[in-house]
Structure 1
Amino acid sequence: MNTKTEWRLLFEPTRVGSIAVKNRYAMGPMGPLGLATPGGGWSPRGIEYYVRRAQGGVGLIITGVCQVTNPAEHLPAGALPNPVLNPAEFLSTSRELTERVHAYGAKIVFQAGAGFGRVIVPGMVPHGSAPVAPSAIPYRWDPSVTCREMTTDEIHAVVGNFRATGALAKAAGFDGIQVHAVHEGYLLDQFAIEFYNHRTDEYGGSLENRLRFATEIASAIHAGAGDEYPVQLRYSLRSMVKDWGVGALPDEDFVERGRDTEEGIAAARMLHDAGYEVLDVDAGTYDSWFWNHPPMYQKKGLFLPFAKVLKEACPDIPLIVAGRLDDPDLAASAVRDGIVDMVSLARPLLADPDIVRKIESGHPEAVRPCLSCQEGCIGRIEHYVSLRCAVNPMTAREREYQLVAVQPRNAKRVLIVGGGLAGMEAARVLAVRGHTPVIHEKAERLGGVVIAGGQPSFKEDDLALIAWYERELQSLGVEVHLGDAVHPGDFDPQQWDHVILASGSVPNRLPVPGAERAIDACDALLEQDSLGHDVAIIGGGLTGCELGLSLRERNHNVTIVEMLDDVLEKNSPLCMANESMLHEMVHATAGIGVATKARVSAIGSSDISVDTPAGPQRVAADSVVTAIGYRPNTELVEAIRDSGIPFNVIGDARRCANIMYAIWDAFEVASHLE
């Protein structure tokens, strides 16, 4: 091992509460959607998913939210592991999981949830039923729907199921339970926060009453598993809520409608006294979702200030803290300063299950970076009820997606046209399997459009991903030709056994007078300092909005012109957390003007003509940037087809999408090429 001196404390044995762990790294809880059996146990995919992270060196695994049966919610069987649905199935699969995780010296805590309440996704609400909540409050996904108040009998039934869960988790070999959660605006958090809880019985009113549901659960778990069995809590110190469905931005001055810091500290003390020995701390609710699930627009280590406040007020409470802590310098300083007891990595362990081992060996540059894009994780959970990762196609598919070496007699020499992410991932996978990929890239460096996309300060991890690929390809000995465009006559069947066309996309053009003056968004991202003071961006999708924020950071005056009713209505991020934060930032940033339902009719020498609902307007513009989408670059397809060489088209050359689909396309094709 060649661990950097400053990082060594991250790898010293320690204790978190009563659990002894081999290092300071925990795997943060992420919902195991798609990893359960119909009977509430762990599927083979789920077991392999966690075992793979244990192999990578993490000290403590927190499974991510599973559910006890909540009679008020009727969660579909098999949506998540559930100890009380079929105890025998849960025990048999969980025992296999815990024994295999323990073999690598890791500990594993079972995270169990009481319910979703007003934030349950529509697909899980029975037809004709209203979601339940502490009180009759608006449903998060459709405020026109009013939730039904949960009865005391239903509350008692959930508490009883936690007693059974405690006994089952202990019997299954889990090292403790983490309750989900007085956190993120889930059901227990809704009970705990006065903004959501309007009850007048013993579960409403005072803070003690509002925490009663959660404290009764801690007592029930100990009743089932014994007083010494470790019980933790996922906990949001502060809600960051301005109103229903409206979250506060970082550093914003606002009136907190949810739990404020003072109440958060008081609640933490009460919950710790009730038997929760460790708090796993963050901030936010579903009304401010970009806190609990931080996009790239949030700072690294964003929860450390919250943890510092709580630690100073309650130094006796051990804290686990996540929040973009993949930088070992930042993680080590947080431990050294006594802010955190364990550093939690969630999405970084999706991107690279070996991140802990690589940091310990002194090679953080070898870590495949998480982009905080949330396309594969939260986005896939939100829309497709399955946990994945944008940059690591093997996540939660570890066994069936193993790369199989090709027989030497079947090894192919493969021409890869294009050195963007799709081309690089295809080359990486082919080389690992024993093929001979050769990349030809017309630009002078690898990376494609991601080079431009990574220019904003908040997209640093995009550039880190390019650097990771460059190192991987170099270590694999992949032949790369830069500044070398492929032409129609270059497809020689005597030289190539297969062709992968990863030629990317070309920008759409605006059909208005003066369009020749406009600059494509990718070129503008690379030349931000030369655009002049006033910049007009035509197109308010993801690219246009991110460019606008980046330009404003550099003190440009920006106007975004969007023909739809609002920015980010088209080509927006898949994940709601990313979309909502970017939307709020664009509208809240001084120096960025937004014209919606507007069309550019002409581009002049120093301004643009815009047709708006209020009539024609002129907008000053030293530079005009078009961010109106892209179309696949397929100009070489016919030449490849005419050559007779077998081929595949991947990434944006197949369908303009995003980083995730470029990488997934490449992995799929390259992993099966025979």
Structure 2
Amino acid sequence: MNTHMAQDTRVTDRLIQYHANRARGGAALIVTEPISMARHQNVSYRARAWNDENLDALKRWADAVESEDCRLLGQIQDPGRGRHNTGLNADAIGASALPDDLSWIVPHALTVAEIHAMIEDFACSAARLQRCGFSGVEISAGHGHLFHQFLSPWSNVRTDEYGGDWEGRTRFLTELIAALRAMCGRGFIVGLKLPGNDYVRGGIGPAEAATIAARLTRSGDVDYACFAQGTHGRELEWHLPDSNGPRAPYLSLFRELRRAIPGVPLIALGRITDPAEADKIIASGEAELVGLGRPILCDAAWPLKAAQGRARDIRYCVSCNICWDTINTHLRPIACVNNPRVARTDEVDWWPSPSAVRRRVVVVGTGVAGMEAAWIAAARGHEVTVFGRSPSVGGKTRLHSLLPGGEALSSIYDYQFAAAGKSGARLELGVSASAADVIALKPDAVVLACGSRMLPPPWLPPEVHDAGLVPDLRSAMSTLLGHTTRQSGTAIIFDMDHTEGTYAAAELLRALFDRVVVVTPRECIAQKTALVTRQGILRRFHEKRIETIALAEPRWSEGFGEGKLEYANVYNGDVGVIPGVVFFAYATPRVPEDMLAAPLRAAGIEVRLVGDCRSPGGLLAATSEGHAAGNSI
């Protein structure tokens, strides 16, 4: 996984700390993010290893990991023609001058001489890593990147020795593996990640993957193999399976492919989040190793806690892919919604340190922001009282967890609830606390985590809103949960939200109504989600026949009383009508529920606002701000 913790091609202390933490947390082997190992690779957020400028830092990196009895492997990878972001890439390279399936960028087709030079660069850089103390390298040849592009008949139509048949298409990797062995010797680990199924017609399916794996491992020069899914196109979502599908979804494929690599250790990967799942895979002989990417980002001590029988203490990955969005969309250092301490020196198996002074603290709100603040403040020794309007903790995250694909989100607030109980926080649930209720407790500090409310859209008449005829989507879903009887007619969502919860609600509605339509004033839906998440949403919408009407806004009319909703194009005003409407709700921008702040501050109380109560955002901001508040009191 990329961390975006290198800076200006330099190995940073933060990058080293991130990997050292995971080694200290019990990992047996760590594969780094891609390292710049060929002279054409000059990405600022990737550490450079093709010259000696990072020599001392590479040694410190290796020592920090290897000293914890953990093997450190550098990743050899090149995106080739692949690109996630908009715009052209004049430096794109590939097997053939064919467009990338996602960005449609056409690369420069590498010449034979350029391939030879790249192989030499990779081998020399691997030897440099070896001298610095790295135990090996992994060749990343999946995900639609450069090596995958050479392997696939979809992207490689060369007629020279690096194309044509399987011998030609695997030649780049065959020669690279041989060069690594010649340069670094037998004691140096060489791992290989290959495509298992890229889901592209005319690309690499399981049969082709088996052929490729057998050819590349038969020399005995590969120490282990693993298989990635998807490619750099509409199929990108499959390389990071999320909570809309089963856990460990690729085990049956791995059983099939391992027959092609007899005697070569296999790493199982892909949404393996629980120690029980990992133990079963190893015990059954389905794989020799289990790869953890997102789960060990979420909890650096995952292996340590698993080994100690402390699975309940793990902060579990919820497969939301916000980490992927952070590094690939926003190009920021990696972050996790369930781990606010990524790469800090005390990250591993962290528990709050006692406060020097015990204070009386009131937290208003039991969503994930409030619960994060509450358990940490209590664990630090403060006297903590938590007020929550709902009879259960979790807030809007709990609601999302009850919708299709949201179940894994419950682990966030389940952990917080258990930690709050362990730390002695007092929860007053089912209570809408007033300023007087809070002041009566004589708190030294108050954390307001009261959440937010959706704004009625401007086209909705106030009297219609006040009558509750068109509710906000959250309120509507709270009412519909538990209903299983199908109803005739059309359900409509007006979407100015563009986050996952709205589309999970649409899927629930599709199970209840004949027709579901999402109307949005933007050009498409799901614009606030990660690309890999958006791909899954769009695929499921089309599979379930959930309709979208883009660049449109409803237009209120008397016809709604007869089940007809008018809408107009935002540019030309063209009007359309949706008949048979029996459900209509809006998902719109939110405003903070911060009404308690002013009277509490007027009473001289120290007040902190977190999560949506401060500024409506997502899970990442909620847990981060709650974490900071709990530690700062």
1:257 counterpart = 2:202: yes
170, 173, 177: which one aligns with 1:218: 177
Q: Is the 8 A contact 1:237 1:261 kept in 2?
A: yes
1:593 counterpart = 2:539: no
The separation in 1 between residues aligned to 2:565 and 2:340, in whole angstroms, is: 45
What residue in structure 1 maps to residue 481 of structure 2? 528
Task: Say which SS state the counterpart of residue 432 (structure 2) adopts.
Answer: coil
What residue in structure 1 maps to residue 46 of structure 2? 80
What residue in structure 2 maps to residue 380 of structure 1? 327
Task: Say which SS state the counterpart of residue 376 (structure 1) adopts.
Answer: helix
CA drift of 1:407 comes to 5.0
1:273 counterpart = 2:218: yes
Task: Say which SS state the counterpart of residue 345 (structure 1) adopts.
Answer: coil
Residues 23-61 of structure 1 show CA distances to partners (whole Å, capped at 9, x for unaligned) of xxxxxxx12321x25454x32112221121122222222
609, 613, 616: which one aligns with 1:649: 609
1:568 counterpart = 2:515: no
Moved more, 597-606 or 364-373: 597-606
356, 362, 365: which one aligns with 1:408: 356
Task: Say which SS state the counterpart of residue 67 (structure 1) adopts.
Answer: coil
Unaligned runs of 5+ in 2: none
The separation in 2 between residues aligned to 1:122 and 1:156, in whole angstroms, is: 29
Task: Say which SS state the counterpart of residue 579 (structure 1) adopts.
Answer: helix
Q: Is the 8 A contact 1:319 1:341 kept in 2?
A: yes
CA drift of 1:130 comes to 4.4
Q: Please, what TM-score do these two structures have when normalized by structure 1?
A: 0.84
1:352-431 residue pairs with structure 2 within 5 A? 352-398=299-345, 405=353, 407-409=355-357, 411-431=358-378
56, 63, 87: which one aligns with 2:32: 63
The separation in 2 between residues aligned to 1:576 and 1:593, in whole angstroms, is: 20
441, 462, 465: which one aligns with 2:409: 462
CA drift of 1:139 comes to 4.4
Moved more, 272-281 or 454-463: 272-281
What residue in structure 2 maps to residue 237 of structure 1? 196
The separation in 2 between residues aligned to 1:152 and 1:584, in whole angstroms, is: 39
Q: Is the 8 A contact 1:413 1:497 kept in 2?
A: yes
The separation in 2 between residues aligned to 1:433 and 1:628, in whole angstroms, is: 38
Q: Using a 3 Å threshold, how does the CA distance of structure 1 residues 39 and 98 change in structure 2: closer, same or farther?
A: same
CA drift of 1:535 comes to 5.2
Q: Is the 8 A contact 2:143 2:230 kept in 1?
A: yes
Moved more, 468-477 or 514-523: 514-523
Q: Is the 8 A contact 1:32 1:65 kept in 2?
A: no
Q: Which AA in structure 2 matches 1:644?
A: G
Task: Say which SS state the counterpart of residue 113 (structure 2) adopts.
Answer: helix
Q: Is the 8 A contact 1:439 1:479 kept in 2?
A: yes
Q: Is the 8 A contact 1:109 1:177 kept in 2?
A: yes
Task: Say which SS state the counterpart of residue 166 (structure 1) adopts.
Answer: helix
CA drift of 1:567 comes to 4.4
Moved more, 212-221 or 611-620: 611-620
Q: Using a 3 Å threshold, how does the CA distance of structure 1 residues 39 and 538 change in structure 2: closer, same or farther?
A: closer
1:545 counterpart = 2:503: yes
Q: Using a 3 Å threshold, how does the CA distance of structure 1 residues 566 and 581 change in structure 2: closer, same or farther?
A: farther
1:137 counterpart = 2:91: no
CA drift of 1:62 comes to 1.7
CA drift of 1:105 comes to 3.1
Report the aligned-residue RMSD.
Answer: 2.7
What residue in structure 2 maps to residue 338 of structure 1? 285
CA drift of 1:159 comes to 0.7
Q: Using a 3 Å threshold, how does the CA distance of structure 1 residues 361 and 606 change in structure 2: closer, same or farther?
A: farther
Q: Is the 8 A contact 2:190 2:222 kept in 1?
A: yes
Q: Is the 8 A contact 1:415 1:500 kept in 2?
A: yes
What residue in structure 2 maps to residue 284 of structure 1? 230
113, 117, 131: which one aligns with 1:153: 113
1:629-668 residue pairs with structure 2 within 5 A? 629-668=589-628
577, 583, 599: which one aligns with 1:623: 583
What residue in structure 1 maps to residue 151 of structure 2? 192
Q: Which AA in structure 1 matches 2:180?
A: I
What residue in structure 1 maps to residue 23 of structure 2? 54
Residues 233-280 of structure 1 show CA distances to partners (whole Å, capped at 9, x for unaligned) of 111112113xxxxxxxxxxxxxx2321222111100111125223112
Task: Say which SS state the counterpart of residue 235 (structure 1) adopts.
Answer: strand
Residues 368-390 of structure 1 show CA distances to partners (whole Å, capped at 9, x for unaligned) of 12111121344334312422212
CA drift of 1:493 comes to 9.3
Q: Using a 3 Å threshold, how does the CA distance of structure 1 residues 371 and 608 change in structure 2: closer, same or farther?
A: farther
What residue in structure 1 maps to residue 565 of structure 2? 609
Q: Using a 3 Å threshold, how does the CA distance of structure 1 residues 420 and 426 change in structure 2: closer, same or farther?
A: same
Q: Using a 3 Å threshold, how does the CA distance of structure 1 residues 101 and 231 change in structure 2: closer, same or farther?
A: same
CA drift of 1:359 comes to 2.5
What residue in structure 2 maps to residue 253 of structure 1? none
61, 68, 79: which one aligns with 1:116: 79
Task: Say which SS state the counterpart of residue 117 (structure 1) adopts.
Answer: coil
Q: Using a 3 Å threshold, how does the CA distance of structure 1 residues 70 and 209 change in structure 2: closer, same or farther?
A: farther
Moved more, 359-368 or 647-656: 359-368
The separation in 1 between residues aligned to 2:631 and 2:170, in whole angstroms, is: 51
CA drift of 1:544 comes to 2.6
Q: Which AA in structure 2 matches 1:458?
A: G
The separation in 1 between residues aligned to 2:63 and 2:388, in whole angstroms, is: 48
Moved more, 146-155 or 95-104: 95-104
Moved more, 166-175 or 421-430: 166-175
How many residues are paired up?
Answer: 613
1:304 counterpart = 2:268: no
Q: Is the 8 A contact 2:210 2:257 kept in 1?
A: yes
What residue in structure 1 maps to residue 64 of structure 2? 100
CA drift of 1:121 comes to 5.5
Q: Using a 3 Å threshold, how does the CA distance of structure 1 residues 58 and 626 change in structure 2: closer, same or farther?
A: same
Q: Which AA in structure 2 matches 1:49?
A: Y
Of all paired residues, the percent bearing the same amino acid is 23
1:43 counterpart = 2:1: no
The separation in 2 between residues aligned to 1:367 and 1:315, in whole angstroms, is: 34
Q: Is the 8 A contact 1:301 1:323 kept in 2?
A: yes
1:208 counterpart = 2:162: no
Task: Say which SS state the counterpart of residue 137 (structure 1) adopts.
Answer: coil
Task: Say which SS state the counterpart of residue 118 (structure 1) adopts.
Answer: coil
1:166 counterpart = 2:100: no
Q: Is the 8 A contact 1:528 1:551 kept in 2?
A: no
Task: Say which SS state the counterpart of residue 54 (structure 1) adopts.
Answer: helix
Task: Say which SS state the counterpart of residue 506 (structure 1) adopts.
Answer: strand
Q: Using a 3 Å threshold, how does the CA distance of structure 1 residues 404 and 488 change in structure 2: closer, same or farther?
A: closer
The separation in 2 between residues aligned to 1:343 and 1:142, in whole angstroms, is: 32
Unaligned runs of 5+ in 1: 1-29, 242-255
Q: Using a 3 Å threshold, how does the CA distance of structure 1 residues 383 and 85 change in structure 2: closer, same or farther?
A: farther
What residue in structure 2 maps to residue 348 of structure 1? 295
Q: Is the 8 A contact 1:538 1:560 kept in 2?
A: yes
Q: Is the 8 A contact 2:388 2:430 kept in 1?
A: yes
480, 486, 494: which one aligns with 2:433: 486
Q: Is the 8 A contact 1:188 1:214 kept in 2?
A: yes
Task: Say which SS state the counterpart of residue 81 (structure 2) adopts.
Answer: helix
Q: Using a 3 Å threshold, how does the CA distance of structure 1 residues 356 and 537 change in structure 2: closer, same or farther?
A: farther
